[in-house]
Amino acid sequence: MYGTDAGYSGDGGVAEDAEPIDREFALVKKLGRLGQRIVQNPKLWDKYSDAIDNDDVDWIISLIQEGTGADKDEIMNLSDLFGEIGGGLGRIIDFAWAVKEGTWEEDFMNPYRQHRNQDVSEGKFRANDIEEYKPGKEALNDLKSRFLPDWEMLDHKTLQAKYVAKDHRHAEQFTKFINKLSERMDHFAEVTQDVAEITVKTATFDVKGLTILDFQLAMIVDNFAKKADIEQVRMSGNFGMHENFADGKNPQDKGDAKRHGVNTKASVSSLRKTAKQGGRKGQLAHWMANMKAGKAKKNF
């Protein structure tokens, strides 16, 4: 019905095969071409767009199967791969949107090519026993400075970072991505979520410290956060909140709450609802709700 052999080239589009192809690479190419055909077919685009809006993943997977000749396992493997390397913000189902917006190369092909061209992969790390290698403090300082300047390193044994998503659903997507990445790498990362806040910690238990895998995992997490417009923030502050925001104010500052439209006289339940909006307003509402809840417990 959809075909798999036609090629396309143009602005932001999908180019013909011009490089060595294996089964996986061929499927990625066909996915881009399928996206182009969906964009060019108004009725099919409307169905695809509705499926995206309704989160009808099964329909989109069936569409990809028919349009590329891939089986479901191959599609799920590609989905996991793009989730790990950050392609399409970790959502393979957005492939046609990327074609429509002219970002197919940037969001899908370039991350995939970079992944294929990496000289060092997770499997090679383990094959070469690099997870067992524990860099010295100077080496760890250098790695952090070069690749993870915004992460915090605790006693050269743990890497940690905090992020703030747009809302709790956005944060849940980020948390799921990290957990899936951790499983795929077979490397544990501690992830905690508090409404729109996500805290990530990683260390290598076997060596009771940090290895190259911790840095690799953290860099993938960082890359995903940047592409998904998830802000990284400082670790310090009350109730898990960070202090010294961009405008130089602390969460408890009355003027700051007023500027962001937070009702300081609202009930705890009302503030909790506002906190789910995420962003600066959500952060302030979350902080105030915790403060009020704490006072209520004391008075009780």
The CATH number of the domain where 220 resides is what? 3.30.1360.20
| CA atoms of 270 and 253, how far apart (whole Å) | 19
86 and 142 fall within a common domain: no
Q: Quick one: pLDDT band at residue 126, thresholds 50, 70, 90?
A: very low
As a whole number, the mean pLDDT across the chain is 75
228 and 144 fall within a common domain: yes
Identify any residues that bridge with 197 across adjacent strands, giving them in sequence order.
164, 194
Residue 175 pLDDT greater than 80, yes or no: yes
Q: Per-residue DSSP letters for 131-174?
A: GG----HHHHHHHHHHH-TTSEEETTTEEEEEEE-SSHHHHHHH
Look at residue 129 and tell me if it is in a domain.
no
Residue at token pair 């905090």: 162
| CA atoms of 276 and 283, how far apart (whole Å) | 9
3-state DSSP assignment of residue 191:
strand
Kindly give the pairing relationship between strand 197-202 and strand 152-154.
unpaired
The predicted model gives 12-25 an average pLDDT of 54
3-state DSSP assignment of residue 24:
helix
| CA atoms of 283 and 277, how far apart (whole Å) | 9
The predicted model gives 28-51 an average pLDDT of 91
Q: Quick one: pLDDT band at residue 257, thresholds 50, 70, 90?
A: low
107 and 148 fall within a common domain: no
3-state DSSP assignment of residue 192:
strand
What does the pLDDT look like over 268-279, one tens digit per residue? 778 777 877 766
| CA atoms of 256 and 133, how far apart (whole Å) | 47
- Among 16-20, 173-177, 255-259, 293-297, the range with the most confident prediction by mean pLDDT is 173-177
> Which residue, 117, 144, 168, sits at the end of a domain?
117
Contact of 254 with 288, CB cutoff 8 Å: no
Total domains, the chain:
3
87 and 162 fall within a common domain: no
Look at residue 123 and tell me if it is in a domain.
no
Look at residue 125 and tell me if it is in a domain.
no
Quick check: pTM over 0.75?
no
Look at residue 58 and tell me if it is in a domain.
yes
Q: Which domain holds residue 89?
A: 23-117
77 and 90 fall within a common domain: yes
Residue 201 pLDDT greater than 90, yes or no: yes
| CA atoms of 254 and 96, how far apart (whole Å) | 46
Residue 44 pLDDT greater than 60, yes or no: yes
Residue 222 pLDDT greater than 80, yes or no: yes
Q: Per-residue DSSP letters for 255-298?
A: HHHHHTT--TTS-HHHHHHHHTT-HHHHHHHHHHHHHHHHHHHH
The encoded tokens of residue 270 equal: 């009302």
Task: Measure Cα distances from 264 to 239, 256, 283, 290 in Å.
Answer: 17, 11, 13, 12
What does the pLDDT look like over 223-247, one tens digit per residue? 889 888 898 887 654 333 333 333 3
